Chains A and B, each alone.
Chain A
Amino acid sequence: MDRYITLPASKDELKDLRSGDYVYISGVIYTARDAAHKRMQEALDKGENLPIDIKDAFIYYMGPSPAREGRPIGSAGPTTAGRMDRYTPNLLNLGMGGMIGKGKRSPEVLEAIKANKSVYFATVGGAGALLSKCITSSEVVAYEDLGTEAIRRLTVKDLPAIVVIDREGNNLYEAATK
Chain B
Amino acid sequence: MREIQVSQIIETVKEMCIEANHFLGEDMVGALNKAAETECSELGKKILHQLQDNLDIAGKDMIPICQDTGMAVFFVEVGQDAHVVGGDLTEAINEGVRRGYTEGYLRKSVISDPLLRVNTKDNTPAVIHYNIVPGDKIKFTFAPKGFGSENMSKIYMLKPADGVEGVKEAVLKAVSEAGPNACPPMVVGVGIGGTFEKAAILSKKALTRSVDEHSKLPHIKDLEEELLTKINNLGIGPAGLGGSTTAMAVNIETFATHIAGLPVAVNICCHVNRHSVREV
Decide yes or no whether A138 CB sits under 8 A from chain B: no
* Interface set, chain B 56-81, CB cutoff 8 A to A: 57-58, 61-69
A172 to B53, CA, bound (A): 24
Instruction: Report the nearest A residue to B105, measured CB to CB.
Output: A66
- CB distance B179 to A177 under 8 Å? yes
Residues of B within 8 A of A62 (CB): 67
A128 with B46, Cβ < 8 A, contacts A66-B107, A79-B148, A147-B121 known? no
Residues of A within 8 A of B176 (CB): 177
A80 with B151, Cβ < 8 A, contacts A62-B67, A162-B43 known? yes
Interface segment among B157-165, B189-197, B230-238: the answer is B230-238
Residues of B within 8 A of A164 (CB): 241
* Interface set, chain A 68-115, CB cutoff 8 A to B: 68, 71, 74-77, 79-80, 82, 102-104
A129 with B271, Cβ < 8 A, contacts A20-B43, A102-B183 known? no
- CB distance A130 to B43 under 8 Å? no
A126 to B179, CA, bound (A): 15
Residues of B within 8 A of A63 (CB): 67-68, 107, 109
- CB distance A126 to B105 under 8 Å? no
Closest Cβ of chain B to A149, distance in Å, is 8
Main secondary structure of the interface of B (DSSP, over half): loop
Decide yes or no whether B252 CB sits under 8 A from chain A: no
A75 with B67, Cβ < 8 A, contacts A68-B105, A80-B181, A124-B50 known? yes
Decide yes or no whether B239 CB sits under 8 A from chain A: yes
* Interface set, chain B 5-61, CB cutoff 8 A to A: 43, 46-47, 50-51, 53-55, 57-58, 61
**How many A-B Cβ pairs are below 8 Å?**
149
Decide yes or no whether B166 CB sits under 8 A from chain A: no
Q: How large is the interface on A (under 10, 10 to 19, 20 to 34, 35 or more residues)?
A: 35 or more
Closest Cβ of chain B to A46, distance in Å, is 20
* Interface set, chain B 190-225, CB cutoff 8 A to A: none
Residues of A within 8 A of B179 (CB): 103-104, 173, 177
Residues of A within 8 A of B181 (CB): 80, 82, 102-104
A125 to B66, CA, bound (A): 8
Q: Which of A22, A65, A122 is the one whose CB lies under 8 Å from B67?
A: A65
Residues of A within 8 A of B55 (CB): 129
A162 with B239, Cβ < 8 A, contacts A63-B107, A124-B51, A126-B51 known? yes
Q: Which of B107, B148, B270 is the one whose CB lies under 8 Å from A65?
A: B107
| B-binding residues in A (CB < 8 A) | 20, 22, 35, 62-68, 71, 74-77, 79-80, 82, 102-104, 122, 124-130, 132-133, 147-148, 160, 162, 164, 172-173, 175-178
Query: Other CB < 8 Å A-B pairs besides A65-B106, A102-B183, 12 of them?
Result: A65-B63, A65-B67, A65-B107, A103-B240, A125-B239, A126-B271, A127-B54, A132-B63, A148-B109, A176-B236, A176-B241, A178-B235
- 5 closest cross-chain pairs (CB), A and B: A176-B242, A125-B183, A103-B181, A75-B67, A129-B58
